Structure 1
């Protein structure tokens, strides 16, 4: 087989394949889907004005459907893995973080000024030393504040804990309240037993 014959055979095959892909011959079926397709094709052949209005309505429906499908919340709230820190402890922690950040910035500026031979190096070194003392105090303040809060409000099973005394007082107050409620109920029951029923 020559080159020209091979080219003609490949062109014939491509043309046949192309027509086969473009115009598939579907088997005859009387399914409801075919009837729906036929009715849709018939209704599409109607007037251009009616088709334009239907297209606009379908476009509005599809836009509303897309808006409904596309809506998602920006974030999903999850339960916290750890309990929220008490407010005094959080305040001390924020203060300590700010002081430590300023100290680190001052130390870096002092180092760079020393490398550059600037006159600002000596004041920055002095201020960074002072800031280091303040940062240490801030970190200790967080620890002390947390211990004090736990001692007053937390569950600390030590003999010197004031949380025990507070709980004891709360239990005593609840017990007295329950006793008073029971006494009131008993008085109501006794006074209700002696009355005659009204018609």
Structure 2
């Protein structure tokens, strides 16, 4: 159900083709919030157009369509954003592995924690780069809120917390007989 709202949200930033939206998913939403394949995006765009939440703003060569958000789509997005999220089942394989890490020998556990730390450091650098690019773009009327700037900052803080935790966990592992 949230795929439709992800698409409406991405179109809120301006008209885009299905190809462009797929790229936006791959670059931003997929890693941190929502996963969608091209085979899911195009049918959902058709449903949204049928429901009047988006419209074809332009048709190009080879049937390429650029979609734009309608007023009804903007209203639907706002309604969804202001509603309470539905409870969801948690399925976080990384967290499960961390919870069960004591089943490993200390050198194996250390290697897993170091990998976790390394991934968080890489992700933090990437997010900071994206945040700097978003901050440098002054052409959008919402300024720093464009491209999910607030979500980027949340990701930055989460990675900083993960880095701090991983360093703490490595220290604890060293202190354990």
TM-score with structure 1 setting the length? 0.29
Higher-Rg member (1/2): 1
Quick one: higher RCO (CA 8 Å, sep 6+), 1 or 2?
A: 2
